[in-house]
Amino acid sequence: MAEASRSALELSQAAEKATLAHRVQSNLLRVGLGPGLVIGATQELLKGFGNLQPKIKVTIHEASAPEHFDSIIRGAIDVCITESDMAFPGCASEALWRESPCVAFPAQHRLARNETVSWEQLADETFLLSGQGAFSEEIREMLCSRLPRSCDRLIVHDIGFESVLRLVAINYGLAFVCSSMARYVMDGVVFRPIAGESDGVRLRAIWARRNKSVSLLRFLSAARTFSRSCIT
C-alpha cells in the first residue's frame, strides 16, 4: 500500500512538472480581473500587450480576489490584477498603478457642470453600488468613512458596472468609479473627480512564484512599463 501511494505521488509530481514545463513555453496567458475591470487603464494595458505580443493568446477570467487566488494555486490562471492587498501564500505580488475615485452623475444633475466635486456637496445624495464590480468593498468603506450618514443611502444592486451606469443615466442615484473607468463613454452620464482624493486605490498583480511562463514574464514586464507611464 505504501509503495502504491509513493508511486501515485511520484506520478502526480511528474505530471505537475510536465504541465509547468509546457506552460513555460506556452503562448497562452490567462489573466484574472475583478468584475468591471476590463475597461479603463486595464483595457489599455491589455491592448498594448496584444500589440507588443500578437502571438500570445490572452484569455480573461472575471472573479473576486479569493477566487483568483484559488485559480492561481490550481494553475487555472497565470496572473490576476486586483485591488486586494491581501498576502497569498505561494504567490508573488507587485504594485501597479493607482486609481483615484470619481463620481458618475446623470448628465442633468446640478453638480454635473462642475469640474470637480467635494464630499460636502455629495452629503445628501443616493449612491448605487455594483455587487459584482471591482472596488465594491473599497467604495463602501470610503463612503462610510467620508460620509457616515450616507451609508443608509447606499443601494447595492446585483448587476455589473455598465448596468449601474445605466441606472445613473435615468437618475436612480450616483455611482463611484475609478479614474481610468471615467474615460468610459455612456449617453446621459458624466464623470467628475473628487477634490483631494488623488491617492485612491493601488492595483496589484499577483501570480504563483513557481510559474515561470514566458508569456507571464512578458506580461509582467509590460505591466511595469505601463504603470510607470501612469505616474504623472
16, pLDDT greater than 70: no
Average pLDDT over residues 100-117: 94
What is the four-CA torsion angle of 130, 231, 38, 107, rounded to 10 degrees? 50
The reply to whether domains 2-98+201-230 and 101-193 share a CATH topology is yes
Residue-wise pLDDT tens digits, 173-196 = 999 888 877 777 889 999 999 988
Residues 24 and 33: their CA atoms lie apart, in Å, by 22
C-alpha cell at 78: 497565470
Contact 96, 40 (CB under 8 A): no
Predicted local confidence at residue 101, as pLDDT:
85
The residues with which 103 forms a beta bridge, in sequence order, are: 176, 192
15, pLDDT greater than 70: no
Q: How confident is the model at residue 231 (pLDDT cuts 50, 70, 90)?
A: low
Predicted local confidence at residue 182, as pLDDT:
76
Residues 82 and 12: their CA atoms lie apart, in Å, by 31
Predicted local confidence at residue 226, as pLDDT:
94
- 0.85 exceeded by pTM: no
CATH code for the domain defined by 2-98+201-230: 3.40.190.10
87, pLDDT greater than 90: no
Predicted local confidence at residue 135, as pLDDT:
62
Predicted local confidence at residue 11, as pLDDT:
40
Burial of residue 188 (number of CB atoms within 10 Å: 0-12, 13-18, 19+): middle
The residues with which 174 forms a beta bridge, in sequence order, are: 127
Burial of residue 206 (number of CB atoms within 10 Å: 0-12, 13-18, 19+): buried
The residues with which 156 forms a beta bridge, in sequence order, are: 129
Q: How confident is the model at residue 13 (pLDDT cuts 50, 70, 90)?
A: very low
pLDDT above 70 as % of the chain: 85
Q: How confident is the model at residue 132 (pLDDT cuts 50, 70, 90)?
A: low
Topology (CATH) of 101-193 = D-Maltodextrin-Binding Protein; domain 2 (3.40.190)
Burial of residue 189 (number of CB atoms within 10 Å: 0-12, 13-18, 19+): buried
The continuous run of DSSP H or E covering 165 comes out as helix 161-169
Q: How confident is the model at residue 25 (pLDDT cuts 50, 70, 90)?
A: low
Higher pLDDT, 91 or 64: 91
What is the four-CA torsion angle of 173, 66, 95, 216, rounded to 10 degrees? -120
The continuous run of DSSP H or E covering 80 comes out as strand 79-82
Higher pLDDT, 231 or 27: 27
C-alpha cell at 38: 476590463
Would you kindly state where each structural domain of the chain is located, as residue ranges?
2-98+201-230, 101-193
State the angle between helix axes of 214-230 and 40-52 in degrees (0 to 180), rounded to the nearest 10.
130
198, pLDDT greater than 60: yes
130, pLDDT greater than 90: no
